[in-house]
Amino acid sequence: MFKIVLYQPEIAPNTGNIIRLCANTGAELHLIEPLGFAMDDKRLRRAGLDYSEYSRVVRHRDWQAFVEAEQPARVLALSTKGSRRHTEIDYRPGDAIVFGPETRGLPADFLEQVGAEHTLRIPMRPECRSINLSNAAAVVIYEAWRQLDFAGALTQ
């Protein structure tokens, strides 16, 4: 499935919400240090409820450690500086979808390394700066999963 990668996340409840999102979609969650909170933060646990047992959550000391350990098939970055909409790409199993820290987004050198063709944005009104991290992750992962016909989901 997909790898949701939070690059230096800062807000525990956002990460908790994304743990729950991963449990419900089958995505893995990868956290790139440093983190802006402790993993035993009660706000993280409250937001994630008891879903952490249903999702793979892995911490990595830095970006390079993530790449070495996970060897992602393809890296996609989300940024307000992206030139392509998140719906204009064909998602593939194994994609690593990277989101930046809540207060500053992904660094320019990281986006340059990923490349413009793999830097995506979520459309929003021009007077707005950004979308909440956990909401952005949900928007993107559900589009990616939809493209795979919700593989592994309960069907009715």
- Separation between Cα atoms, residue 57 and residue 22, nearest integer Å: 9
Is 97 labelled a binding residue?
no
Question: b/e string for 115-131 if b means 16 or more Cβ within 10 A?
Answer: eeebbbbbeeeeeeeeb
Is 100 labelled a binding residue?
yes
Is 78 labelled a binding residue?
yes
Residue type, 20: R
Is 6 labelled a binding residue?
no
Question: Strand 3-7 and strand 74-78: pairing?
Answer: unpaired
Q: Which residue numbers belong to the known binding site?
A: 78, 100, 122, 130
Binding-site positions for S-adenosyl-L-methionine read: 78, 100, 122, 130
